[in-house]
Structure 1
Amino acid sequence: MTIASILSALAKHAHSTPDRTAVTYSVNEARNLSYYQLACLVNIYRKKIKSLNIPSNDKAVICLENSAEYIALLYACWSLDITVIPLHSQSAVREVQHILDFSQAKLAITKNNLAINLENSVQHLKVEANEFELLLDTEAAKPDLDQWVIPAVEHNALILFTSGTTGDPKGVMLSHSNLLANTQSIVQYLSLSATDCTYCVLPFTYSYGNSVLQTHIYAGASICLGQSMLYPKLIAEDLNKASITGFSGVPSTFQILLHKTSFAKIHPQLRYITQAGGSMSVTTTKELLEALPNTDIYVMYGQTEASARLTYLPPARLLEKAGSIGIPIPDVELAISDESGKLLGPNETGELIAKGDNIMQGYLSNPTATEQTITGDWLHTGDLGYRDIDGFYYIKGRQKQMIKSGANRIHPEEIEEVILECDAVSEVSVTGIKDELLGEVIAAFVILKQGFGEDPKPIRYHCRKNLPPHKQVKEIFWVSEFPRTSSGKIKRHELASFANARK
């Protein structure tokens, strides 16, 4: 069977190696699914979704935590040629509703407690926690692989939103071809095989977590659904199990494991780990090398617009090229460009641009933003950097203002919109400020209306009601005016510098 898409890969493994473990739970290793069982679960959900008469090449929102149900529902939608819009499991009701309205999705797949608060403008499929065992026991489950629709490669597989409740959300449209190109490149440089088992704590709704999921399904490997990062000591213990060969995280993931658990003393015998989602300090890199002397450590860089990945730093060059994001992944071309579009030479600073089959189709219903981001075949990353004489790339800063807090990507405008709803607030500007653990946390600079005092409680209360936990404001600063450019734009970087100096 030719692997023409990620969906084809699952079908292949269900047919050729049906008994191999596909998904297991760290909290109970007896609860696992073989590739055959996963395909059966896909087919159960496929029938449920098909009965709702959602047109092919239409859209469905999935708002669930990492689970066997999430994986099966994702592939079930694809087997009907339905594009999936994954949303964080802790997304606020208003955020989910906004994405449903903006995307015009026809189906919302959520837990019951969220579904009852959504408007009835779309079809609902309510999913209960850990229902897969009951479904497999009670349904006449067969994979029926020949009934699966293998979507055209140019059809959208995912739309990943890089902002939530702003007036101008950006939905990154990724085709089946995009995902396949990204997946094949990563499988190649990580040397993934059916003998691997990754321990996953990253949300599958995040481009990095989705990439971990897709690469391991493609390789016929196993995925262990890990503990929450609220329990790092348990994660450290789990990583020492012989069955686990791989682990992926953002910089804060490794800082927590190194400094708040016995991870550094246990010396887990992992084959590889990957790090992305922000810059990891040289100090943390060295600590990881000491904790994992026999493990290949891959520092990586990418963007949602690139289906997740653009570069990797070969483990053998980790210390020699400390601070580098590495070299292009297979079948991706990178360059450094100045503002006029001229390509620059070694050690010249400009914008990092990229092209390859993994580059997005564009932003949903936003041709202007698409044209600003993609010129010809080149993706403009918005990151400033340079290439050394050996061809290794380095990032010096970001043109874009997105806040990178742990594994989460947060647009300031989304937080500003909620804070501006508070009676006392005249103006607000939100930015990321440095944090040792998470990389960045959210800071809000507030100009009050006349007659109101500096009381943060109403703002924090309103944010708790309308934003998920990972989008809560950490610091509030009261200001009388904002630094602005000649055109009136707020200089966020000056606000961030002020806040960082105060810490």
Structure 2
Amino acid sequence: MVSREPPFAGIADIPHLQARARGGKTAVVTDAGDLLSYAALDDRCRRFAAFLRSSSVAPGERVAILLQNVPEFVIAYFGAIAAGCVAVPVNYRLSPPEVAYILSDCAASVVVTTAEQFEKVAGQESVRGVGTWLLVEDRREGSLSFRDALGVNPAPAPAPAAPDDVAVLLYTSGTTGFPKGAMISHRNTLFNVDSCRATLGYGEEDVGLLTLPLFHVTGLHSQLVALLACGATVVLQKEYDTGQVLERIARNRITALFFVPAIYKLFTLRSDIGRYDLSSVRIAAYGGAPMAPETIEALNRAMPARLHNCYGLTECSSLGTVLPSEFALTRSESVGLPVPGTEAEVRGTNGGSLPPGEPGELYLRGPHIVQGYFGAPEKTRDSIRDGWLKTGDIARIDGDGFVYILDRAKDMINRGGEKIYSLEVENVLYMCPGVAEAAVFGIPHPVFGEVPAARLVPLPGATIDPEEIRAFCRARLADYKVPVQVGIADRIPRNPGGKILKVELRREWESRSQEEAR
């Protein structure tokens, strides 16, 4: 494992020890352009920890954070952990009943949120157990001010932490059922810091743009925590906007980015890309899908960045594999090698390890695998055995150890016994002229059980002919892999990490089919 400087014993040591090492350096730049030094960040985190202790919130209790990418999120996250509590970032895009489910499931004692969210969620029957609501804006009846909570004298230091103590609960996206709270320890998180440093090359000179939501494991662990642990600066952005992102890169001299490939493609499609100074960018990480070679080449012309395709899950604390930048073009369909100190295997249906090149389910093992699911021992046993995480992804590993993700196990299309991996078809669709985004999913068929269908998003100003798309695919794929239906839309549903929601695509297709049948 790569050594850490300074040597963090726990997550809350990051702002505390960095304040001693580089107190005057800017740690966080807010969406409004305000600056927060490491010393100021540490002071506010310790003040929040002192407030929790003075409010009799015991170590191990859950502190939920329902906020966008704002400094109060950062303070609440590190401050809760400094008090020995468990931080629970919550997706602010969820509906009030969905938020209430998570707050109830984790038995949150404290919720840090906005007045708007408080009015939507606090009245839900299942959240009556929340003891304290802290609002970052104006107070409402039944709540306290987050600003006032920081008025107490700061705690002298973060609470001592054992490596395997649970520090964070991150809830899975719940696309196939109720979300589960992954229990992430200090060891898990700090190992991911080392993984980011070793594979992406983070250092104290970096300035990272954080547009991915902080309730998602990538934004939280592979950007916020990892960059601050390296002594870098983090620039927060509440909502994604391509023009604003490009302006921030130029204005703040951003060096480190992390997006889904579709975002980078939007960069390269702008006719005015040349007016933005992107010369500072040296790390451009991406995940959720492979990046088309032509997009890689266009990015290489636009910025001098090293490109890294990354694969990970909440259950491995963020990074699972990373593609070294020198293979960005030659192995563009690969998600790379397991991060140092970890293992990856592909297994068959009988649980046995498969030889190189054979497709099967991907398993991961290492210090990054989480402790399990909160309050769900049976689900934990189903997913994690003997230290191996059952990812639910179909993959193959070549003779050099490079991992290729083929599909989610639940998304693989079985056409009359013939397996179709949607990623293979999507890669061909991305080669079609005029296609900006592509998603392939299975739809019911009376004879074959299911067959492939596709949804495409056209490039700005482009027109897509579904029959021309199918002809393009027939020239490059076996006939049974060619989508039987091609739909054109202005969006493809994705979760906050950029992964395509195939369940939602199938649901929308079924809904349209029922309407047409009436």
- Compute the TM-score of the two structures, normalised by the length of structure 2: 0.74
Q: How does 1:23-422 map to 2 (within 5 A)?
A: 23-28=28-33, 31-117=34-120, 118-119=122-123, 120-129=128-137, 144=155, 146-163=156-173, 168-211=178-221, 212-226=223-237, 228-229=239-240, 231-241=241-251, 243-260=253-270, 262-263=272-273, 266=276, 268-269=278-279, 270-292=281-303, 294-400=304-410
Q: 1:436 to 1:301 in 2, by over 3 A?
A: farther
CA contact 1:352–1:385 (8 Å) conserved in 2:
yes
Q: Does 1:21 align with 2:26?
A: yes
- Deviation of 1:249 (Å): 0.6
Give the Cα–Cα distance (whole angstroms) in 2 for the partners of residues 252 and 437 of structure 1.
Answer: 12
Per mean C-alpha deviation after superposition, the further-off stretch among 85-94 and 34-43 is 85-94
Q: 1:328 to 1:361 in 2, by over 3 A?
A: same
Q: 1:173 to 1:355 in 2, by over 3 A?
A: same
Give the Cα–Cα distance (whole angstroms) in 2 for the partners of residues 432 and 96 of structure 1.
Answer: 33
CA contact 2:203–2:231 (8 Å) conserved in 1:
yes
Q: 1:180 to 1:105 in 2, by over 3 A?
A: same
Q: Which amino acid aligns with 2:323?
A: L
- Deviation of 1:54 (Å): 1.5
CA contact 1:265–1:291 (8 Å) conserved in 2:
no
Give the Cα–Cα distance (whole angstroms) in 1 for the partners of residues 224 and 389 of structure 2.
Answer: 24
- Deviation of 1:5 (Å): 2.1
Give the Cα–Cα distance (whole angstroms) in 2 for the partners of residues 334 and 158 of structure 1.
Answer: 24
Give the Cα–Cα distance (whole angstroms) in 2 for the partners of residues 321 and 220 of structure 1.
Answer: 32
CA contact 1:333–1:354 (8 Å) conserved in 2:
yes
Q: 1:265 to 1:352 in 2, by over 3 A?
A: farther
Gaps of 5+ in 1: 405-411, 413-430, 439-469, 482-503
- Deviation of 1:246 (Å): 1.0
1:145-194, CA deviations, whole angstroms, 9 ceiling, x for partnerless residues? x3320322211111111145986431111111111111111112222211
Q: 1:328 to 1:165 in 2, by over 3 A?
A: closer
Report SS of the residue matched to 2:56.
coil
Q: Which amino acid aligns with 2:284?
A: I
Give the Cα–Cα distance (whole angstroms) in 1 for the partners of residues 87 and 237 of structure 2.
Answer: 23
Q: 1:129 to 1:67 in 2, by over 3 A?
A: farther
**Aligned position for 1:12:** 17
Q: Which amino acid aligns with 2:347?
A: S
- Deviation of 1:111 (Å): 0.9
CA contact 1:334–1:354 (8 Å) conserved in 2:
yes
1:3-30, CA deviations, whole angstroms, 9 ceiling, x for partnerless residues? 11222122111112110110012542xx
Report SS of the residue matched to 1:302.
strand
Q: Which amino acid aligns with 1:124?
A: T
- Deviation of 1:479 (Å): 7.2
Q: 1:261 to 1:116 in 2, by over 3 A?
A: farther
**Aligned position for 1:458:** none
Give the Cα–Cα distance (whole angstroms) in 2 for the partners of residues 59 and 139 of structure 1.
Answer: 19
Give the Cα–Cα distance (whole angstroms) in 1 for the partners of residues 204 and 230 of structure 2.
Answer: 6
Q: 1:379 to 1:112 in 2, by over 3 A?
A: same
Percent same amino acid among aligned pairs?
26
- Deviation of 1:264 (Å): 5.9
Per mean C-alpha deviation after superposition, the further-off stretch among 277-286 and 100-109 is 277-286
Q: 1:130 to 1:10 in 2, by over 3 A?
A: farther
Q: Which amino acid aligns with 1:127?
A: L
CA contact 1:112–1:126 (8 Å) conserved in 2:
no
1:412-453, CA deviations, whole angstroms, 9 ceiling, x for partnerless residues? 9xxxxxxxxxxxxxxxxxx99644489xxxxxxxxxxxxxxx
Give the Cα–Cα distance (whole angstroms) in 2 for the partners of residues 4 and 216 of structure 1.
Answer: 17
- Deviation of 1:45 (Å): 1.9
Q: 1:479 to 1:199 in 2, by over 3 A?
A: closer
Q: Which amino acid aligns with 2:291?
A: M
Per mean C-alpha deviation after superposition, the further-off stretch among 216-225 and 279-288 is 279-288
Give the Cα–Cα distance (whole angstroms) in 2 for the partners of residues 207 and 479 of structure 1.
Answer: 34
Give the Cα–Cα distance (whole angstroms) in 2 for the partners of residues 239 and 432 of structure 1.
Answer: 38
Q: 1:363 to 1:141 in 2, by over 3 A?
A: closer
Q: Which amino acid aligns with 1:113?
A: E
Give the Cα–Cα distance (whole angstroms) in 1 for the partners of residues 368 and 150 of structure 2.
Answer: 38
- Deviation of 1:476 (Å): 5.4
**Aligned position for 2:415:** none
Q: Which amino acid aligns with 1:19?
A: G
Give the Cα–Cα distance (whole angstroms) in 2 for the partners of residues 432 and 56 of structure 1.
Answer: 50
- Deviation of 1:122 (Å): 0.8
Report SS of the residue matched to 1:275.
strand
**Aligned position for 2:429:** none
Q: 1:166 to 1:143 in 2, by over 3 A?
A: same
1:267-288, CA deviations, whole angstroms, 9 ceiling, x for partnerless residues? 6111111101333333322322
Gaps of 5+ in 2: 1-5, 140-144, 413-421, 424-440, 442-451, 460-499
Give the Cα–Cα distance (whole angstroms) in 1 for the partners of residues 297 and 175 of structure 2.
Answer: 39
Give the Cα–Cα distance (whole angstroms) in 1 for the partners of residues 150 and 379 of structure 2.
Answer: 46
Q: Which amino acid aligns with 2:242?
A: P
Q: How does 1:423-502 map to 2 (within 5 A)?
A: 434-436=455-457, 475=508, 477-478=510-511
Q: Which amino acid aligns with 1:121?
A: G
Give the Cα–Cα distance (whole angstroms) in 2 for the partners of residues 189 and 289 of structure 1.
Answer: 19
Q: 1:366 to 1:238 in 2, by over 3 A?
A: same
CA contact 1:54–1:106 (8 Å) conserved in 2:
yes
Give the Cα–Cα distance (whole angstroms) in 1 for the partners of residues 176 and 358 of structure 2.
Answer: 35
* Misfit runs of 4+, over 6 Å: 134-142, 470-474
- Deviation of 1:261 (Å): 6.5
CA contact 2:28–2:37 (8 Å) conserved in 1:
yes
Give the Cα–Cα distance (whole angstroms) in 2 for the partners of residues 365 and 260 of structure 1.
Answer: 48
1:326-366, CA deviations, whole angstroms, 9 ceiling, x for partnerless residues? 11111111111112222122211111111000101111222
Q: 1:18 to 1:142 in 2, by over 3 A?
A: farther
- Deviation of 1:47 (Å): 2.7
